[in-house]
Chain A
Amino acid sequence: MPMRVLRFLLRKEFLQIRRDKAMLRMLVAVPVVQLLLLSSAATFEIRRSRMYLVDADHSAMSRGLVQRMVASGRFELAGASSSAALADERMLDRGATTILRVPAGFERDLVRDGHANVQLVFNAEDGAAAGVLRSYAVRILAAYGAELGRELRPTFRTVDGRAPPAPGAARIDLRTRGWYNPELNYTHYMVPGILVVLVTIIATTIGAMNIVREKEIGTLEQLNVTPVTRAQFIASKLLPFWLIALADLALGLALARLVFGIPMRGSLLLVFGAAVIYLAAALGIGLWVSTVAGTQQQAMFLSYAINLVYLLMSGLFTPVQSMPGWAQWVAEASPVKHFIVIMRSVLVKGAGLADIRVPLLVLTVYGIVVLALAVRQYSKTTA
């Protein structure tokens, strides 16, 4: 008997969902389109900086310096003049992001003293890129200085009389390695995270809206006087969206594999097992919202507020360890963070159940607590 009631309720829900074609289209199209677009956009990779040149020296060496900067692939010449004011103007209208000023007497100073100055101005308006560009520029200047030294002072020999090092070789032989993500590949880092956030928005919002709508229209009261139990009602409201969110996740994972070539080293079964728990927690949050909110409008703003906190404080965009201490606790309390960790470890690093047991446990506890709280709150408000 109870199962039959649930089945009828579910059929009604699915019929309603199927009838709302616009909603259904949105639930499929939006995650797909956004995953494709946003994953490519979410990168801090430093591209070429537009460099404006103010060369007051007009010498072979100043030209050589500019040529080295351009040849590095990090800078491109966006314009040149002898006017510092014009350069500043270009930076204000974003025509240039770097200004290189070579003062008069640059070559003379280098030849005479072995030492000269230039001025570099970076547009620091556009994020941390300026800091990285600075380190590129400093490296190029050092290499060029070393190169000039070898050309102009052939007497320079190593102590034991061997041939001088090849041009470009530094005296400290520096090598760098990036572990776990050697190509500094942003999509491997971002795609699982963005997918999680998209699925989370769907799971937390739509379930909440669905229940509040019944409240707003007044049909919830009617349902409450029928023999339908609360558990049956809640299950019938949450199950369809739980399935839709899981389907979205599966779709997203297929795209991640086919379009972005995200490695899937670990077990997909494990990913979906974790997703089942995680989405139950997300829907629980939605359910809680629906008990607090009186109108769809309030439900919407509450879900928006919760989702934005999850989105911005999950460590997806800015590192958690850069946040102040209290904010790190907020980040820890966000289930999104833990599920992203699971997705990344299992997919990219090939982690097994034992490796992800801590975040999985956190999610499970979180899910149970949230669902229990929401169901209790729900019974209170409608009793």
Chain B
Amino acid sequence: MNALRGFIVKEFHHILRDRQTLLILLLLPLAQVILFGYALRTDVRGVRVAIVDPAPDASTLALRSRFTATDLFRVVEVLPSTAAVPRAFASGRVDQAVVLQPGFARALARGEGAQVMVITDATDPNTGSTMQAYATAVIQDYERELRTGGGGMRIDAAVRMRFNPTLESVNLFIPGLIALVLTVVSALMSAISLSREKERGTLEILLVSPLKAWQIIVGKVLPYLVLGFANVLTVLGAAWFIFRVPFRGSVLLLLAESLLFIVTSLTLGVLIAAVTSSQRTAMMGALLGLMMPTTILSGMIFPIASMPGWLQPVTNAIPGKWFILISRGIMLKGVGLGHLWQETAVLAGMTLVLLAVAVRRFNVRLG
């Protein structure tokens, strides 16, 4: 045990001596969470609309005023005919065009179906469908109001957006960003520290020392666990002080879960170092293997429920997915371990399996 302690102390010295790298490791995650926390937004506001109104009448003016009344839209042009619409789209001046038929009021009064066409620039399908939904809602609101006097019946919905009432995208992105940044940075740190010893040949020396394989791994990884936890504190601090993300649940639980997640990510790095032979390969593996999959498959940006059925089970293999479920659960929903034990168990189980495989790989090399 004494040997292990000495080894750990030595590793700490190594890290503390390299000031430049230490600074990068401490500041990088924080800087990234702050930068992307500000930059990533999915809310669509100020959609630039062109309204084509060939024969303005009372009803078209009323409908047009619906579009100007909300800050979701900015009516940039009112055109007399559809001829100018393609050019308005091609030049990028408008995102959406609302085309009203001539004789709109008369058609409405007769109940024969006044025609409205909403054209949306759908190059980006997500923004496109959101803009389409916004415009549809405005027009249908208007229609519903007209109908109250008529023979239809009205069912009104009191709508409540649970856990994120204003649909603030920062609240959704911050837990995901934390997961992404922590996984990649932690895995890179442990992968590098082990594969460097391997590349220089010093790992062989360590393996013939009285230290066991698992002790070497612990000694190498423990300092990074401390660093990783420091990162947790800074990024959660940024979430709380800068982005005002709600912390509805227990902060202590969140810290404990973050610690578990750091361990999982570090173990992932150990495994990567165990199966590769050079620093270069290990780092490429960690970066290429973690960055894109964590961004896309963790549910950080794209809802897992939207993915095709065959792909959804694949996301279970991404540690970040479970941490996002846990951190959103604690921060936004305010739930405790009672609701999150399954996710926690998955993360813990994942860590144990990864660790077992990694230690085995190192032992095999010894034999």
**Given known contacts A34-B292, A44-B306, A117 and B164 CB-to-CB distance under 8 angstroms:** no
Residues of A within 8 A of B181 (CB): 308
A133→B296 CA distance, assembly (Å): 22
B204 adjacent to chain A (CB < 8 Å): no
**Given known contacts A126-B299, A126-B303, A209 and B283 CB-to-CB distance under 8 angstroms:** yes
Min distance, Cβ B212 to any Cβ of chain A, angstroms = 26
Residues of A within 8 A of B38 (CB): 324, 327
**Given known contacts A92-B335, A308-B291, A309-B35, A171 and B114 CB-to-CB distance under 8 angstroms:** yes
Q: Is the CB of B125 within 8 A of A213?
A: no
- Between A160, A164, A178, the greatest number of chain B beta carbons within 10 A of the residue's beta carbon is seen for A178
Q: Is the CB of B278 within 8 A of A23?
A: yes
Min distance, Cβ B192 to any Cβ of chain A, angstroms = 5
Min distance, Cβ A246 to any Cβ of chain B, angstroms = 17
B84 adjacent to chain A (CB < 8 Å): no
**Given known contacts A44-B303, A172-B116, A303-B287, A186 and B159 CB-to-CB distance under 8 angstroms:** no
A interface vs B, CB < 8 Å? Answer: 20, 22-23, 26-27, 30, 34, 37-38, 40-47, 65, 91-94, 97, 110, 114-132, 134-135, 137-139, 141-142, 144-146, 148-150, 152-153, 155-156, 158-160, 162, 164-165, 169-182, 184-186, 189, 194, 197-198, 201-202, 205-206, 209-210, 213, 294-298, 300-305, 307-309, 311-313, 317-319, 322-324, 327, 330-331, 344
Min distance, Cβ B275 to any Cβ of chain A, angstroms = 8
Residues of B within 8 A of A313 (CB): 36, 39
Residues of A within 8 A of B279 (CB): 209, 213, 296-297
* Shortest 3 CB-CB contacts between residues of A and residues of B: A156-B151, A178-B122, A149-B152
Q: Is the CB of B295 within 8 A of A311?
A: yes
A126→B164 CA distance, assembly (Å): 9
Residues of A within 8 A of B158 (CB): 117-120
Q: Is the CB of A47 within 8 A of B305?
A: yes
Min distance, Cβ A257 to any Cβ of chain B, angstroms = 20
Residues of A within 8 A of B335 (CB): 92
A45→B127 CA distance, assembly (Å): 11
B345 adjacent to chain A (CB < 8 Å): no
Provide a sorted-by-A list of 15 A–B residue pairs whose CB atoms are within 8 angstroms.
Answer: A42-B301, A120-B159, A125-B163, A131-B130, A159-B111, A174-B140, A178-B119, A181-B125, A186-B125, A201-B288, A202-B288, A209-B279, A213-B280, A309-B35, A322-B127
B333 adjacent to chain A (CB < 8 Å): yes
B128 adjacent to chain A (CB < 8 Å): yes
Residues of A within 8 A of B328 (CB): 125
Q: Is the CB of A121 within 8 A of B160?
A: yes
Min distance, Cβ A140 to any Cβ of chain B, angstroms = 9
Min distance, Cβ B286 to any Cβ of chain A, angstroms = 8
Q: Is the CB of B43 within 8 A of A128?
A: yes
Q: Is the CB of B122 within 8 A of A311?
A: no
Q: Is the CB of B42 within 8 A of A175?
A: no
B289 adjacent to chain A (CB < 8 Å): yes
A176→B129 CA distance, assembly (Å): 10
Residues of B within 8 A of A164 (CB): 111
Cross-interface CB contact of A135 among B128, B136, B163, cutoff 8 Å: B136
Q: Is the CB of A176 within 8 A of B172?
A: no
Mark interface residues in B3-47 (1 if CB within 8 Å of A CB, else 0).
000000000000000001100110010001001101111111100
Could you count the A-B residue pairs with CB atoms below 8 Å apart for me: how many are there? Answer: 384
Q: Is the CB of B159 within 8 A of A122?
A: yes
Instruction: Give residues 305-333 of B contacting A (CB, 8 Å).
Output: 305-308, 311, 314-315, 325, 328, 332-333
Instruction: Give residues 198-231 of B contacting A (CB, 8 Å).
Output: none
Majority-rule SS of B interface residues: helix
Min distance, Cβ B98 to any Cβ of chain A, angstroms = 10
Which of B142-150, B234-242, B258-266, B352-360 is near enough to bind chain A? B142-150
A114→B147 CA distance, assembly (Å): 11
A213→B279 CA distance, assembly (Å): 9
Residues of A within 8 A of B117 (CB): 174-177
Min distance, Cβ A250 to any Cβ of chain B, angstroms = 18
A280→B58 CA distance, assembly (Å): 60
- Between B35, B45, B136, B306, the greatest number of chain A beta carbons within 10 A of the residue's beta carbon is seen for B306
Q: Is the CB of A115 within 8 A of B153?
A: yes
Q: Is the CB of A26 within 8 A of B288?
A: yes
Q: Is the CB of A146 within 8 A of B153?
A: yes
Q: Is the CB of A124 within 8 A of B153?
A: no
**Which residue of the partner chain B has the closest CB to A34?**
B292
Cross-interface CB contact of B154 among A30, A115, A318, cutoff 8 Å: A115
Residues of A within 8 A of B314 (CB): 37
A298→B139 CA distance, assembly (Å): 55
B276 adjacent to chain A (CB < 8 Å): yes
B339 adjacent to chain A (CB < 8 Å): yes
Cross-interface CB contact of B281 among A20, A91, A317, A318, cutoff 8 Å: A20
**Given known contacts A23-B280, A142-B144, A179 and B296 CB-to-CB distance under 8 angstroms:** no
Residues of A within 8 A of B297 (CB): 37-38, 41
A149→B111 CA distance, assembly (Å): 14
**Given known contacts A158-B111, A308-B291, A330-B39, A181 and B128 CB-to-CB distance under 8 angstroms:** yes
Q: Is the CB of B284 within 8 A of A173?
A: no
B109 adjacent to chain A (CB < 8 Å): yes
Min distance, Cβ A216 to any Cβ of chain B, angstroms = 8
Residues of B within 8 A of A213 (CB): 279-280
A122-B162, A173-B113, A201-B288 known; 10 new pairs, CB 8 Å cut-off, are A26-B281, A38-B297, A127-B303, A129-B303, A172-B108, A180-B123, A184-B128, A201-B291, A304-B184, A318-B42
A283→B40 CA distance, assembly (Å): 27
Residues of A within 8 A of B287 (CB): 201, 205, 300, 303-304, 307
A322→B126 CA distance, assembly (Å): 12
